[in-house]
Structure formats: structure tokens, C-alpha cells
Homo-oligomer: A and B are copies of this chain.
């Protein structure tokens, strides 16, 4: 199997699995279950993966981790907005 196709399918699956969490937080306007610290640790890790992908020149790694960074930055912003209110 072509490695790039495999990586893209893997990336789509792991990306899709993050959507419900994001939708739930946006819909319920509640970020109680989320931890700032963990989101920050995760964003750092994912950003390093993007960097790793650039060094290795591997598009599937760059794309799926960049997507995950975006999702988690939105979650972090939700945390800041909704936790302040409560």
C-alpha cells in the first residue's frame, strides 16, 4: 500500500475522532471537562509533530497534526471564554 495514502487515511480517521469533542463544547458552551494544562501540553506536542513532519518532508504528518493544532487552539479559546463566564 502506498505510504502516503495510508498516512492520509490514518490522518483523516484521527482527525475525525476529534470533531465530536469540539462540536460538544461549541454546542453546550461548556468547557468544564477540559483542562487548560493538558490542552497546552497537547498543542506543544502536536506543534512539534508538525515540525517533525517538515523535517522529514512527510505531508500526511504535517496535515493531520496541523489540523489537530487548529482544533485544540479552538478548544483552548473556548476554555478561556466559557470558564471565565462560569
| A residues apposed to B, CB below 8 Å | 1, 3, 6-7, 9-17, 20, 33, 35, 38-39, 41-42, 44-46, 48-49, 51-52, 55-56, 58, 60-61
Contact = CB atoms under 8 A, between A and B. Distances in A.
Interface SS of chain A: helix
Contacts of A20: 35, 38
A81 B61 CA distance: 34
Nearest to A37: B20
Contacts of A35: 20
B3 A16 contact: no
B44 A13 contact: yes
Nearest to A2: B55
